[in-house]
Amino acid sequence: MAATQIRKWGNSAALRLSNAALEGAHFSINQDVEIEVSPGRIVIEAARPVYELEAMLASVTATNVPDFQPQVQPIGAEVIEW
Q: What is the reported pTM?
A: 0.57
DSSP 48: P
- What pLDDT was estimated at residue 46? 95
Per DSSP bridges, beta strands 33-38 and 6-9 are unpaired
Mean local confidence (pLDDT), 46-64: 91
Instruction: Give the separation between CA 31 and CA 22, rounded to whole angstroms.
Output: 10
Q: Are 2 and 20 in contact (CB under 8 A)?
A: yes
Give me the half-sphere count of Cα atoms (radius 13 Å) on the Cβ side of residue 73.
Answer: 1
Which domains are delineated in the chain?
6-58 (2.10.260.10)
> What is the three-class DSSP state of 19?
helix
33 three-state secondary structure: strand
The predicted-structure confidence for 18-41, as pLDDT tens digits, reads as follows 999 999 999 999 999 999 999 999
Residue 7 pLDDT > 90, yes or no? yes
